[in-house]
């Protein structure tokens, strides 16, 4: 008999595997076609693991159906992008963050977090939220978290260590466990930069939709962004 934590783990692996498989499917008909022709091997393997752990067939079906519904929500949000970057450290990669935001916008996407690539991020943020009469750090954090929940793609420059970026990264990574849809994530960093193990320590089943890439110049970065957007956008 598996513990509650172990049962949660095997069910979560099925949810992630199924949602990844459905990520680029757009119609309910495609879902039923998937079920008729057979699910990908990683989903079938996760189903078998659940059944061996005494998860009922009804629960398994419910997980797969919920994964499809979440994938549809993600598809609706696929053009909404959150770009994360350090704001309080050296901002050594600000020119590249600006380039990434401009590139993503140029491909027809909406960048929710424009302030992270601005010369004056607080001023830009306040303009984005309508210049409220009062401001505190809760507004900044809560708005970012709302945008992260809403976004269908997440891109973070991980070159400069940042508590804020680490928190935003983990909020996005945990969206499926918090009742939201799985969101493809891209962590970029200048070549030869050491990324925190807290960030790049991901589970095996997450590797298909959480990418880490290093770049040396804008040409590198453009290629990385193009690959990510083509795959998940």
- What pLDDT does residue 115 have? 94
What 3-state class would DSSP assign to 118?
A: coil
E strands, the chain, where? 80-84, 110-111, 153-157, 185-190, 210-215
pLDDT tens readout for residues 151-168: 999 999 999 889 999 999
Domains of the chain by start residue, with CATH? 4-76 (no CATH), 80-232 (3.40.50.450)
E strands, 11-157, where? 80-84, 110-111, 153-157
Q: How confident is the model at residue 2 (pLDDT cuts 50, 70, 90)?
A: confident
Taking 70 as the threshold, does the pLDDT of residue 217 lie above it?
Answer: yes
Burial of 200 (0-12, 13-18, 19+ CB in 10 A): middle
Ranking 25-34, 58-67, 165-174 by mean pLDDT, the lowest is 25-34
Give mean pLDDT, residues 121-138.
Answer: 86
Instruction: With 0.85 as the threshold, say if the pTM is over it.
Output: yes
The mean of the pLDDT values for the chain is: 90
N-terminal to C-terminal alpha carbon distance within the chain: 41
Taking 60 as the threshold, does the pLDDT of residue 68 lie above it?
Answer: yes
Triad 107, 97, 194: Cα angle to 5°:
125
- What pLDDT does residue 132 have? 86
pLDDT tens readout for residues 134-144: 887 888 899 99
Q: Which residues contact 16 (CB under 8 A, 6 or more apart)?
A: 176, 182, 205, 206
Q: What's the CA gap between 27 and 205, in Å, rounded?
A: 24
């Amino acid at each position: 008999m598996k513990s509650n934590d172990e049962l949660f783990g095997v069910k979560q692996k099925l949810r992630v595997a199924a949602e990844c498989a459905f990520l680029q499917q757009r119609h309910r008909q495609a879902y039923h076609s998937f079920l008729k022709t057979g699910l990908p091997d990683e989903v079938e393997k996760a189903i078998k693991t659940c059944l061996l752990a005494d998860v009922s067939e009804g629960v398994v079906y419910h997980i797969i159906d919920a994964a499809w519904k979440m994938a549809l929500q993600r598809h609706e949000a696929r053009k909404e992008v959150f770009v994360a970057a350090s704001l309080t450290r050296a901002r050594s990669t600000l020119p590249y963050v600006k380039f990434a935001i401009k590139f993503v916008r140029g491909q027809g996407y909406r960048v929710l977090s424009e302030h992270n690539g601005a010369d004056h991020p607080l001023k830009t943020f306040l303009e984005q939220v309508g210049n409220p009469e009062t401001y505190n750090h809760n507004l900044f954090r809560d708005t970012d978290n709302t945008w992260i929940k809403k976004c269908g793609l997440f891109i973070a420059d991980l070159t400069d260590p940042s508590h804020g970026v680490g928190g935003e990264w983990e909020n996005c990574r945990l969206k499926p466990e918090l009742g939201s849809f799985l969101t493809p994530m891209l962590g970029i960093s200048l070549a030869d930069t050491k990324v925190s193990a807290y960030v790049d320590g991901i589970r095996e089943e997450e590797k298909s939709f959480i990418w880490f890439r290093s770049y040396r110049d804008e040409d590198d970065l453009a290629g990385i962004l193009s690959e990510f957007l083509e795959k998940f956008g």
